[in-house]
Amino acid sequence: MTDTALPPAPPVTAILESGLYVEDLPAARAFYGGVLGLEEIAHVEGRHAFYRVGGAILLIFNPNATEKGSSGGKLPVPTHGARGPGHLCFAASREEMQAWSARLTAAGHPIESAFEWPNGAYSIYFRDPAGNSLEFAEPRLWF
């Protein structure tokens, strides 16, 4: 529904960052940095770890810390957070997903589901140590 009193919306062209919440940051860092091999670009003990994923950033927060807000006046980030598992999907080719399936399984993160969507795109689902639902999918799932 569009409110005719609102000015026109500028285009939203990308997601810059996405966040997941975990209470065990050392386990998350071992998974996202070690198993997935993502480049960690920032880390604050007990609070967060941030990773570069292509042209976006994956924020891994401890909700116990982010519910308290930022600690300094220079970065007045409002309190935020979530409880319970979230979902995030990474882009990958079908061939890459075969390699990911082998790597994830060897690292103790079994594939929960692997299937072809009605449009022919393929995806695999697995969990991080905190129970977040993660997926690799062919971009043609959406594009």
Mean pLDDT over 61-74 rounds to 79
**pLDDT of the residue at 72:** 62
94 falls in which pLDDT band (50, 70, 90)? very high
Residue whose structure tokens are 């009605």: 118
Sign of CA dihedral 65, 82, 129, 52: negative
Q: What is the pTM of this model?
A: 0.90
Q: Which CATH number fits domain 13-69: 3.40.920.10, 1.20.1090.10, 1.10.540.10, 3.10.180.10?
A: 3.10.180.10
Select from 88, 134, 89, 85 the least CA-distant residue to 109: 134
Task: Report the amino acid identity of residue 61.
Answer: F
Query: Which architecture, in CATH terms, is 84-143?
Result: Roll (3.10)
Length of the chain (residues): 143
- Please state the domain extents for the chain: 13-69, 84-143
Select from 54, 16, 38, 46 the least CA-distant residue to 128: 38
Task: Report the amino acid identity of residue 1.
Answer: M
CB 93 within 8 A of CB 107: no
Read off the pLDDT of residues 19-50 as tens digits, 9 standing for 90 and up: 999 999 999 999 999 999 999 999 999 999 99
**pLDDT of the residue at 78:** 82
Do the domains 13-69 and 84-143 sit in the same CATH topology, yes or no?
yes
